[in-house]
């Protein structure tokens, strides 16, 4: 059976990240995510003594988890099986060629009742940029080139947690709107984040000269943010799961309920007709 083609050119992604580090990486989204992780951990009634963080940009994560093992988001994660009671996959999973494999590796790295927290960019991220580039390129060339990473939707990511074997899986999303002076300032920020185009199927040819100016004009007209600025959406999807343990809550056995749902809701019950009649 043939394997699906890779989504990400890992060599190009590494170059983009190295360039961002050399020029001074823009990490405000990582800092926001790290602050959110710290808040979420504060709500868990448990102390973690052996954490690990999977990330390409360690600095913001060392601020909140100074004793954590920092692991690169390689296709094979350098995590010890059963060696951690907390694993954080930090704003890198959207670039994975095998996201299920990444989750399974994180699950195996957890000790029983260990916690997994993952955060990645979701499908609404850069929806505005994706739209104006597609419109401009379609008008100029009659076709489209992959320019913005396709990102997963929350319903799909929640199912991946279950496939990876996590107990008590939860997925939720947080949207953030960031404003920029122009589309070109947004693109510069994406490059400074190491989030430039690293798609395996990206075009290697120079784009039409008019592409980006036309897209920028469309952006300014379609997505204004006031004061002459534009709006850009970043959707963070949060994945939470636990390594199975006997102490965890279990779903009730089907048919074991002591009260009918219709009675609890005070609703009339309308039995379905038996199709065999």
What pLDDT is stored for residue 205 in this prediction? 87
What pLDDT is stored for residue 143 in this prediction? 87
Q: How many helices (H) and strands (E) does the chain have?
A: 9, 7
CB 50 within 8 A of CB 86: yes
Flag whether pLDDT at 30 surpasses 80.
yes
Give the ranges where 210-260 is alpha helix by DSSP (H): 211-222
226 φ/ψ sector (left φ>0, alpha ψ -120 to 50, else beta): left
What is the CA angle 121-19-208, rounded to 5? 75
What is the rounded average pLDDT of the residues 184-190? 97
Count of beta carbons in the 10 Å neighbourhood of residue 32: 17
pLDDT band at 246 (very low <50, low <70, confident <90, very high): confident
Flag whether pLDDT at 2 surpasses 80.
no
Distance in angstroms (rounded) separating the CA atoms of residues 51 and 38: 13
What pLDDT is stored for residue 144 in this prediction? 87
Q: Tell me the sheet residues that pair with 174.
A: 236
What pLDDT is stored for residue 265 in this prediction? 59
Which residues, 6 or more positions from 139, have their beta carbon under 8 angstroms from its beta carbon? 214
Q: Tell me the sheet residues that pair with 110.
A: 84
Phi and psi at residue 122, to the nearest 5°: -105, 180
Distance in angstroms (rounded) separating the CA atoms of residues 17 and 142: 32
Distance in angstroms (rounded) separating the CA atoms of residues 41 and 48: 9
The C-alpha R_g of the chain, in whole angstroms, comes to 22
pTM score, two decimals?
0.86
Higher pLDDT residue, 261 or 169? 169
Distance in angstroms (rounded) separating the CA atoms of residues 275 and 82: 51
């Amino acid at each position: 059976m043939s394997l699906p083609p890779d989504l990400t050119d890992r060599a190009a992604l590494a170059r983009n990240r190295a360039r961002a580090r050399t020029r001074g990486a823009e990490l405000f989204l990582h800092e926001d995510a790290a602050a959110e992780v710290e808040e979420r951990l504060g709500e868990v009634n448990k102390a973690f003594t052996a954490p690990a963080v999977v990330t390409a940009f360690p600095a913001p994560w060392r601020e909140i988890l100074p004793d954590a093992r920092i692991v690169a988001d390689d296709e094979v994660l350098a995590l010890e099986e059963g060696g951690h009671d907390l694993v954080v996959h930090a704003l890198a999973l959207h670039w994975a060629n095998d996201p299920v494999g990444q989750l399974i590796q994180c699950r195996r790295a957890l000790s029983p009742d260990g916690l997994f927290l993952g955060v990645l960019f979701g499908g609404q991220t850069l929806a505005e940029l994706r739209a104006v580039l597609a419109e401009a390129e379609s008008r100029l060339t009659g076709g489209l080139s992959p320019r913005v990473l396709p990102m997963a939707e929350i319903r799909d990511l929640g199912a991946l947690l279950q496939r990876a074997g996590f107990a008590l899986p939860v997925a939720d999303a947080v949207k953030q709107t960031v404003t920029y002076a122009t589309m070109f300032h947004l693109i510069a920020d994406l490059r400074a984040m190491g989030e430039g185009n690293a798609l395996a199927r990206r075009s290697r040819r120079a784009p039409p000269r008019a592409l980006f100016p036309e897209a920028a004009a469309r952006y300014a007209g379609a997505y204004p943010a006031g004061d002459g600025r534009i709006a850009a959406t970043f959707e963070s999807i949060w994945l939470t799961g636990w390594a199975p343990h006997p102490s965890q809550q279990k779903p009730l056995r089907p048919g074991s309920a002591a009260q009918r749902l219709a009675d609890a809701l005070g609703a009339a019950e309308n039995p379905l007709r038996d199709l065999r009649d």
